[in-house]
Structure 1
Amino acid sequence: MTNFKPLALTIIFCFFVSSHCTIIIPKNNNGNLIQQTCKQTPNYEICIQYLKSDPRSSDADITGLALIMVDIIKSKANTTLNKINQLIKKKQEPSQKEALNSCAGRYKAILVADVPKSVAALKQGDPKFAEDGANDAAVEATTCENGFKGKSPLSNENIAMHDVAAITAAIVKQLL
């Protein structure tokens, strides 16, 4: 019986200590999901760069990562459309002005149709339509670029949009 008291005290002590301890679990590091997701896209480095720069990615699932990329499409489309509008205001030769006007229509289509379609589809759990929207944005950027006779003043923006849209489509495809 003499061994019972120390054993009982040890058990009570352990119970008391454990009931008053907080278990610290590190915050979910989503880097592995981001890396696995980006490995399945056409441009791993750009994918990583965009997703890791957005704080929402730290606890996002694949749908959340796709929504982040759609937001990047939207941001790039707005920036490009602003540049197009500035270029249109300057004196341009007719073929250049025509190409710029065509590009303006294409980037408006990205903003008015492709982005909202993709967001709605992702939120409703219908990724096929989101993939279509991202692919459409890539096509619009490529078509804009090809509309210039000679050097395009929007090459950097069109290439960036194409890349982001292709990455987005590849991420969304992982949900199918």
Structure 2
Amino acid sequence: MTNLKTITMFFFFLIYVTSLSSIIHCRTLIIPNGESLMESTCRRTPNYNVCIQSLKANPASSNADVNGLAQIMVKVMTSKANDAINMIHQLQRSGSSSQKKALSSCASKYNAILIGDIPQATEALQKGDPKFAEDGSNDAANEATFCENEFNGKSPLTKQNNAMHDVSVVTAAIVRNLL
């Protein structure tokens, strides 16, 4: 009888520990009726429209989990950074000498995004370390803002800088759902 009692207690203890572990490791994302994970996730970002437009442009987003949505947004960041770099190179070829220093500074900032921030975010998401992905996304947003400020009010890169900033802060907000 004692062995049966011990086995039963052990069994209930094991169930308790397993359920406690599940509660600790599981973050539940509550999705309102009729809303997709993408829509629900985008509502938790600072710019719903940028989020939805960016994600809907990629067919894989309809079946992605939150990590997948974040990875798609990192790819959007890459595209926006490349757009900015291309514009910078175009302006450097045809631009005035008064903007040369600011354009050069912006080129280095966008190179930092492409060489440092985006690979950091990508690797962190792949390894399950969302904090570093959030940091990389926020750094990219800051670099875009710093580039914009290089021009002291009349930036030829406002469109690209705003797009980069907005996509980056949306990415950071999506990644925060993984923390």
Q: Does TM, scored on the shorter chain, surpass 0.5?
A: yes
Identity %: 58
Q: 1:57 to 1:31 in 2, by over 3 A?
A: farther
- Structure 2 residue 83 is matched with structure 1 residue 79: yes
Q: 1:31 to 1:158 in 2, by over 3 A?
A: same
| Residue from 145, 157, 163 that aligns with 1:154 | 157
Q: 1:152 to 1:51 in 2, by over 3 A?
A: same
Larger radius of gyration: 1
- The SS at the match of 1:73 is helix
Which residue matches 1:169? 172
Code of the residue aligned with 2:142 in structure 1: it is V
Give the structure-1-normalised TM-score.
Answer: 0.80
The structural deviation recorded for 1:91 is: 4.1
CA contact (8 A) 1:77 1:111 kept: yes
| Residue from 106, 115, 120 that aligns with 1:117 | 120
Code of the residue aligned with 1:112 in structure 2: it is I
CA contact (8 A) 1:31 1:58 kept: no
Q: 1:91 to 1:37 in 2, by over 3 A?
A: closer
Stretches of 4+ aligned residues off by more than 6 angstroms: none
Q: Provide the C-alpha distance between the structure 2 equivalents of 1:127 and 1:120, rounded to a whole number of angstroms.
A: 10
Q: Provide the C-alpha distance between the structure 2 equivalents of 1:149 and 1:174, rounded to a whole number of angstroms.
A: 36
- Structure 2 residue 41 is matched with structure 1 residue 40: no
Which residue matches 2:93? 89
Unaligned runs of 5+ in 1: 1-29
CA RMSD of aligned residues (A): 1.3
The structural deviation recorded for 1:125 is: 0.1
